[in-house]
Structure 1
Amino acid sequence: MQHPTFRKRWLTAAIAAAACSSSAFAQEADQESSDLPVVRVVGEAVSEPTTEDTGSYTSNRVTIGKQGLTLKETPQSVSVITRERMNDQNMTTLDDVLTRTTGITKRDFGPTASVYLSRGYEIDTMLLDGTPIDSAIGVTDTMFDTAVLDRVEVLRGPAGLIQGSGEPSGTVNLARKRAQEEFGFQSALSYGSHDAYRGEIDVTGALDESGRLRGRFVGVHDDRNHFIDHVYTENTTGYGTLEYDLTPSTTVSVGIMDQSGESRPNYGLPQLANGELLDIDRSTYHGSLWDVKDESIERYFAELEHELDNGGNFRLIANHIDRETDTQQSTAGVSIPTSNSDDIDIWQWRIVNPRQDRFVDATLSTPFELAGKTHNLMVGASHRITEEETLFGSGDPQFIQRNLANPNPNTPKPTFDVNQTRDLETQETSLYSQLRLSVLDNTTLIAGGQVSWWESEDQLDSTNNFEIDSEFTPYVGLIYDINDQVSTYASYTEIFQPQSSQQVNGDFLDPRTGQQVELGLKGEHMNGALNWHASTFKITDKNRGITDLDNPGFSVAEGEAESEGFELEVTGRLTPRWDISAGYAYTQTELVNDPEQEGRPLSTDTPEHDLKLWTRYRFSDNPDQGWRVGAGLNYSSEVFAEAGDTRWEQGGYTTISGLIGYRLNRNLDFALTGENLTDKKYFETVRARTRNNYYGEPRNFMLTMRYQY
């Protein structure tokens, strides 16, 4: 590998792994709760949210809305990426998952960080079991390893009831693997293109004879170079959790997730001044050999769940996250070249970013009887505190020059003057409620909302204090069951987003409000083994800050934007041997009230057409033995970036992926996966004149051996 070795840090919770090897594990696994592939009934419904060992590409129950609801009971578009599909497509990172999810597009910032978009807006909230997890400077951390996850749930559109403030894009819920009562052991070894090495271990089981105390440990080390010269990532993840049944109806769980990583990042390429895309070798690196990003994240969590006698549920969850990144980087960012062989200026800089997040949430959900029908009421409260410090500065010298086509990365490391500091503290408190009324035998009315108090203190050159009091975000939905398999729905959702721009009187702008109307159909067939949905939506984004033409340098909250389109998705089992996940999204965005940009797209890097298809076929009726093959494609229509009168375009393109796998028996499996099999050369991200333009990855393969017991 072309990088130094760094100290690997494992969790103290690894003691759970040792404990799990005790002789306390003595019973066979139950299909709904175990990792063990003892019995897999082809076509059986997935009645629980857990997807491990179901062999399914779908789950008809999700937990993203603070309750365990079926997909048909959720009047918004939701996609579920199951454990089985993550294994089949070798999705080892959050980036792998989201770039294969219906309607989600990517704005690249290198191999360890990206922004993801839904319906034209950035997804700015990620949840871990329903609680927010940190993101640095608005950029999603793609270092998050999926080996610790059972499934990923993606809701598209405003999620104000779930998350309070944010963009009207949607939210992503990462559902952790839970400790199981029955013993389970899994391991995997992988080797692939660009010297990619990966190892996983996963062990779970009871820690006492009664099974009331359970533990789980997952450990991963991932070490790989990149298709770009000199770029690498090396990540270690450890996850440990303990669960204890205080009573038959009350469970408490605690855990820790520790991630540490070192990488040599890449911040992309410039584009040519005449509007043409660069045409140089995809492996070209414009950074320096001293470039490095060190990152560590520790997440601690505790949860108490109590099942009420009437079938209701109370859940209290708290988490604490410590994160620190230290990046020393040289990147293109100033020059606009005129040809593929120009010299360009390279900016040398350093940024250190410690951050701490604390979150607590309490939810009570209870059924009740009224007028001979059963209804449900959910109430809850949450509080979040985020403290972030950013120290940054340029190198000495601040700029050096490199040739665009033949750069020399072997340059002296500068001295850094990290003399600028920004301190940011944000607090948000929310009260929320949702009422589900069975108004008719086949009709459900949902009404609810959230009241939020938001405040921020931002210190850079001066201190800015900003508060939002009692901001209400409503939620209304109606579901009509056409028959036992198909339902139709309508929903109205909102969300708010604070703005930091100021009016001429010195006040901050009122928050933006994102309002969405969505209509759709959902179907559930073969006892839940196959799910589909079709939806159409329109988002109106009001109070956007635009330039105050009468008072230059200030803003007014009079801008407006729109996003509209439709989505189709089908996931699950077509026949006992054939599984599929297919999704299509059509999206149009427009700035409708902005004197300087009216009529232009809100998001030029959101394609109008986005198609994602993956299918797998097994040649044996026995899912625990035999050959399988898989194939997929991702299609994106044109995206572009603009600066003044210059426009850079990446035309529509298609990439092809594939799988060949053989399961020797219920314990041992081999799989070879490949991406971009036609070796298509394209820009995955077209973003700016001077940097942040990224080639998509060339053809690559990964061979994986899995063992489970």
Structure 2
Amino acid sequence: MSMTHRPLHGGSRSLLLTLAIATASLHGVQAQAQPTAQQARTYEFDIAAQALAPALVEFAEITGFQLFFDANLTRDLNSPGAHGRLGGEQALQRLLAGSNLTYRFTNPTTITLAVPDNGSALSLGATLVESKQIAESPVGPVDGYVARRSLTGSKTDTALVEIPQSISVVTRQEMDDRGVQNLNDAVRYTAGVRSESAGIDSRADDIRIRGFDAGSWSNSRYLDGLRVPRGGQWTTTQFDTYGLERVEVIKGPAAVLYGQVTPGGMINMVSKRPTAEQRNEALLQAGSHDQYKLALDVGGVLDEQGQWLGRLVGSFNDGNAQVDHTDLSRTFIAPSLTWLASEDTEVTFLAQYQKDDGGSTYQFLPMTGTLRTPHGRIDRDTFLGEPDWNVYDREQWSLGYALGHRINDTLSFRQNLRYSYVDTLYKGAVSFGDTQPDGHTLRRRAVLGDGTAKSITVDNHLQADFATGALDHTTLFGVDYLKVDWEHLRTGTNHPNIAPIDIFDPVYSGVADIAPNLRPQSSYDTTNRQTGIYLQDQIAWENWRVTLGGRYDDFDDNQANRLNGTRTVTKDEAFTWRVGATYLFDNGLAPYFSYSTSFEPAVGETWDGSPFEPTEGKQYEAGIKFQPEGSDSLITLSAFQLEQQNITVADTDPSHNTCLPSLCQRQSGESRIRGVELEGKASLTDGLSLSGGYTYLDAEVTKSTGADKGKRLAQVPRHMASLWADYRFQGGPLAGLSIGAGARYTGGTYGDPENLYHIRGYTLFDASVRYDLERLGIQGTEVALNASNLTDELYVANCSTVASCFYGSGRNVTASLKYHW
């Protein structure tokens, strides 16, 4: 971050007032307008008591504001300093305390200092203090596509370029430009990530990172740094992306900070939080399949002292889906409240409520008619279930807080806590094998799943910032705890209690014989606990940044089988660690290397009753990041080798016969993924924004007792590529118009472990058009049209068995009207 200090010439005194904002001074001047986005952000300040002039220099470098003042005004004046996470204006007031100086904003990013009786004058010889780079909150809004800082990668406020691991951030601006409707949409232009890998599924987020599951059925989704609950089979959460500020993806093991996660990586969703800006937004959408959406986002300062900030985000949508006889409705509300208790203490309360009603788009289609088409192809909107037995209802809510307290100049403490609850009901009728020999008659089965999950999770960490000689340390010590209680009951019935159906001309037979013939198939009452202790040290020496970390986890799973009255208790422990280093060249290049490990509990036991060891992962990663100083861009090139051990496989030893009629399981499986990723994001000054990447994955089962040894890992394409470009016209007759276009390529995959079923690759196109109606005299209003899968490509996303094939999403077009005030 560079700064300039230069005298102003006379012409600078005629600065135009571009935004009339008068702010409250230390001596009673009242605010007359709401602050802008930059004024509303909060920053981490550690400005010591000192002479006022250098204190203002530090303020400008942290916030990015320009300060104009006559050097004579600050001569012989001292500042008490400012500490903690504060709004820019709040920090400036503390720096000026006792100085008898006032200030005013002459445009959204420029502040003029003066004495009270000469509040508008700038004299010759005034000084401009400016920063060429605007500071960013790691949980706050980002102007454009390029985030610079993150909490997710280290649990400290760290520049992305300094973290020795590949991390991607999808900003709110990028989500809005692309018309994102769900988490799958949000990450679809992220290198190393495959979304909707198992086809259309309105129930869940289906995401794989570096070949491993990181979606709703995994332990790798986090909200505001805390893991979200997951219960039995169909009991999981999903979060409306309108309530998110950013989506962050860690690629590779993250267990050193978060505990049990898949080795491929994890996703952290960052909620919208209160800011000092009173920015209101109303949104109206209408789109394909008669879907419509209403949304509202309001918030700002709640009291005259500026200690209380509030925000309310909510939405409602209703309509049909791409699959016939499927309705989808959602009600979402997320209030939040921030209390700036003192310059050292801040707490934000976060709550969410979401209710999903309707059916499920997830169909187990037969291989005949999808992957194999001797008699034709099943239409994507064909529904092969029963209209009166198509239900997926979910109610979820959460309540928690994020507390930060600065103890002194060295120590600070943070605590994040959340209680969550989710209740789901699923009814579905799906295929029971492939079609009959005639090629169009399909037998079916019906299931009902009812489950709840409730969890409490808390993360405490103490951060120490200190120096030992030439080394600057940011040391983190933390303890976290997670408890999930879940219950799940699955019942079902098969043919002939549900009649077969013609896949090309479906006639529905009704559900009269389904409910009376449902039989329990599984019923569990389970408690999962995890306690983790972790230590991390981020060391800075000259241009070197070194990260060292280790974590110990103790976990247990206590599961009661309510059908047979048995109980299985799995207790174990694991140690994971990470080491990495980055070198920051002056030209913006930052080569890095890291080694990290991961674990996941493996529930079950061997033939002799011995509990399974945790499944373990490790990764070597080397790469280079490029972020030239002053640019709004970030490019990451990484190469990695990712291995997973202790995978459960079939035990083929004939003497191990205690599991008959099934084979027992043992842990001897291993897999390896070698890959290369290239990702770039840029928000260029001429109105052009870019986001995209390329991924190469060589994924192989290296050790197994089955036929999958030496085969490619299922659902892992060898090549993926994407590019999104958005251009906003800056002047001329097209000023106010924005156009965007994107392309996504996913290479061919195998749907099953033995590589029997090959799925062809596909290329999809997206587009958007937006227009700011301010050009027509309508202030604060924008209209937009977004389309995904523009050509309505019909493609198979996955096919794992002859009765488990899935289409990907078709074309979806959404028209939006957005109003800000």
- TM-score, length-normalised on structure 1? 0.90
1:272 aligned to 358, 368, 378, which one? 368
Offset from partner CA, 1:452-499 (integer Å, 9 cap, x none): 001001112321001003x11011111112334111110011111111
Offset from partner CA, 1:315-336 (integer Å, 9 cap, x none): 1111000110011211113344
Q: Which amino acid aligns with 1:707?
A: Y
1:86 aligned to 149, 157, 175, which one? 175
Distance 1:635-1:667 versus aligned 2 partners, 3 A rule: same
Q: Which amino acid aligns with 1:359?
A: T
Find the counterpart in structure 2 of residue 116 from structure 1. 207
Find the counterpart in structure 1 of residue 515 from structure 2. 415
Contact 1:52-1:83 within 8 A present in 2 as well: no
Find the counterpart in structure 2 of residue 364 from structure 1. 462
1:58 aligned to 124, 146, 149, which one? 146
2:33 and 2:610 map into 1 onto residues whose CA distance is 65
Q: Which amino acid aligns with 1:49?
A: S
Deviation, 1:390, is 0.3
Contact 1:424-1:457 within 8 A present in 2 as well: yes
Find the counterpart in structure 1 of residue 271 from structure 2. 176
1:491 and 2:594 are equivalent in the alignment = yes
Offset from partner CA, 1:592-630 (integer Å, 9 cap, x none): 1113235444532111111121010111169x9611111
Q: How does 1:183-582 map to 2 (within 5 A)?
A: 183-268=278-363, 269-272=365-368, 276=372, 279-290=377-388, 291-310=390-409, 312-338=411-437, 341-395=439-493, 398-409=497-508, 411-413=510-512, 414-415=514-515, 417=518, 419=520, 420-438=522-540, 440-460=541-561, 461=564, 462-469=566-573, 471-525=574-628, 527-550=630-653, 551-552=656-657, 553-582=663-692
Say which SS state the counterpart of residue 400 (structure 1) adopts: coil
Offset from partner CA, 1:626-648 (integer Å, 9 cap, x none): 1111100000111222487x833
2:37 aligned to 24, 31, 34, which one? 31
Deviation, 1:253, is 2.0
1:103 and 2:205 are equivalent in the alignment = no
Q: What is the count of residue pairs matched by the alignment?
A: 678
Deviation, 1:110, is 2.0
Contact 1:663-1:670 within 8 A present in 2 as well: yes
1:607 and 1:139 map into 2 onto residues whose CA distance is 26
Say which SS state the counterpart of residue 198 (structure 1) adopts: strand
Say which SS state the counterpart of residue 84 (structure 1) adopts: helix
Find the counterpart in structure 2 of residue 131 from structure 1. 226
1:75 and 2:164 are equivalent in the alignment = yes
1:353 and 1:398 map into 2 onto residues whose CA distance is 24
List alignment gaps of at least 5 residues for structure 2.
Answer: 1-29, 42-106, 111-130, 658-662
Deviation, 1:426, is 0.5
Distance 1:107-1:136 versus aligned 2 partners, 3 A rule: farther
1:155 and 1:425 map into 2 onto residues whose CA distance is 28
Say which SS state the counterpart of residue 246 (structure 1) adopts: coil
1:698 and 2:704 are equivalent in the alignment = no
Structure that is richer in strand per residue: 1
Find the counterpart in structure 1 of residue 254 from structure 2. 159
1:146 and 1:274 map into 2 onto residues whose CA distance is 31
Offset from partner CA, 1:44-102 (integer Å, 9 cap, x none): 74531368764401101011131111111211111110000110111121121133322
Distance 1:275-1:261 versus aligned 2 partners, 3 A rule: closer
2:731 and 2:629 map into 1 onto residues whose CA distance is 17
Say which SS state the counterpart of residue 716 (structure 2) adopts: coil
Distance 1:138-1:428 versus aligned 2 partners, 3 A rule: farther
Contact 1:496-1:511 within 8 A present in 2 as well: yes
2:749 and 2:136 map into 1 onto residues whose CA distance is 39
Q: Which moved more, 1:349-358 or 1:495-504?
A: 495-504
Say which SS state the counterpart of residue 730 (structure 2) adopts: coil
Structure that is richer in helix per residue: 2
Contact 2:399-2:420 within 8 A present in 1 as well: yes
Say which SS state the counterpart of residue 399 (structure 1) adopts: coil
1:677 aligned to 762, 777, 790, which one? 790
Find the counterpart in structure 1 of residue 14 from structure 2. none
Q: Which moved more, 1:516-525 or 1:476-485?
A: 476-485
Larger of the two Rg values belongs to structure: 2
Say which SS state the counterpart of residue 32 (structure 1) adopts: helix
1:99 and 1:642 map into 2 onto residues whose CA distance is 23
List alignment gaps of at least 5 residues for structure 1.
Answer: 1-23
- TM-score, length-normalised on structure 2? 0.78
Distance 1:168-1:344 versus aligned 2 partners, 3 A rule: same
Quote the sequence identity (%).
25
Relative contact order, higher structure (CA 8 A, sep 6+): 1
1:490 and 1:33 map into 2 onto residues whose CA distance is 37
Distance 1:205-1:599 versus aligned 2 partners, 3 A rule: same
Q: Which amino acid aligns with 1:631?
A: A
